[in-house]
Amino acid sequence: MDSLEQFEADKRSRVAGLADDSELRRQSREWMAASAPHGYTYNFEWLGVPVIQFPQDLVALQEVIWRTRPDWIVETGVAHGGSLVFSASMLELLGGEGKVLGIDIDIREHNRKRLEAHPLFHRIELIEGNAASDDVAARATGMVNGRVLVILDSNHTHKHVLRELQLYSPLVKADGYLVVFDTSIEEAPDELFNDKPWGRGNNPMTAVREFLEGNPRFEVDTDIEARLQITVAPSGWLRCVAD
């Protein structure tokens, strides 16, 4: 075994250990819950634009993008647009013509203006509308082609995410990824979501579970969440295993 193979073998063994460490998983969930009242995920920017994510999830997304080399990245839920700039920057580094499509029901004027002024805006398209509507999904489907990475990060109710999964999963083909953020709501203290229409039993993870029952084309990439530990997408990193 050469040293690169040895490095990969060591990593596989470490990841297996992490996947089995239920105490570390519990502590990671506890840390996430403790950081939530501080609005921890709101503290970061990507190339000057606020991105509402854990840095760990961005590192994993970078790995997925580099490995799968998508032609299009479709993300529902734009907010300030930092996650679109993140994806655009990865596509820029890949070279080629890759583009990002962001869909949001409410793209605030100041956010749109900042995005339009960004040096990577040439890689970004926007649709304003309800991502779970047939009309918006049809427009999005008509815009993209080739290898597509889909990221769902808009409304987090079961019904909404399940509809998004049904509408956008056909865009993802074998070896591509469908990433569903905020599945972590299912494992978080309910009081964190008192003012939200989602919570335990009604969130992206419950939607993913229902979706996977009828969609053998997708399976959970458990390696990613084992490596990350801190992630808002446990059971949400879905790998497509068949066209």
The rounded Cα 147 to chain-centroid distance in angstroms is 16
The one among 73, 132, 149, 161 contacting ligand SAM by CB under 6 A: 132
The one among 60, 61, 74, 104 contacting ligand SAM by CB under 6 A: 104
Q: Is 131 in the site for ligand SAM (CB under 6 A)?
A: yes
The one among 87, 89, 130, 202 contacting ligand SAM by CB under 6 A: 130
The residue among 131 and 149 lying less far from ligand SAM, judged by its C-beta, is: 131
The residue among 181 and 217 lying less far from ligand SAM, judged by its C-beta, is: 181
Contact 222, 19 (CB under 8 A): yes
The residue among 147 and 163 lying less far from ligand SAM, judged by its C-beta, is: 163
The residue among 18 and 230 lying less far from ligand SAM, judged by its C-beta, is: 230
The one among 32, 73, 74, 77 contacting ligand SAM by CB under 6 A: 77
The one among 56, 83, 89, 206 contacting ligand SAM by CB under 6 A: 83
DSSP 3-state of 73: strand
Phi/psi of residue 239, nearest 5 degrees = -100, 135
Q: Is 206 in the site for ligand SAM (CB under 6 A)?
A: no
How crowded is the C-beta side of 82, counted as CA atoms within 13 Å? 17
Footprint of ligand SAM on 13-52 (CB under 6 A): 51-52
Footprint of ligand SAM on 138-177 (CB under 6 A): 153-155
Report in angstroms how near the CB of residue 78 gets to ligand SAM at its nearest: 6
Q: Is 184 in the site for ligand SAM (CB under 6 A)?
A: no
- Rounded Cα distance between 26 and 41, Å, is 19
Report in angstroms how near the CB of residue 88 gets to ligand SAM at its nearest: 13
Which residues contact ligand SAM (rule: CB under 6 A)? 51-53, 75-80, 82-83, 103-106, 130-132, 153-155
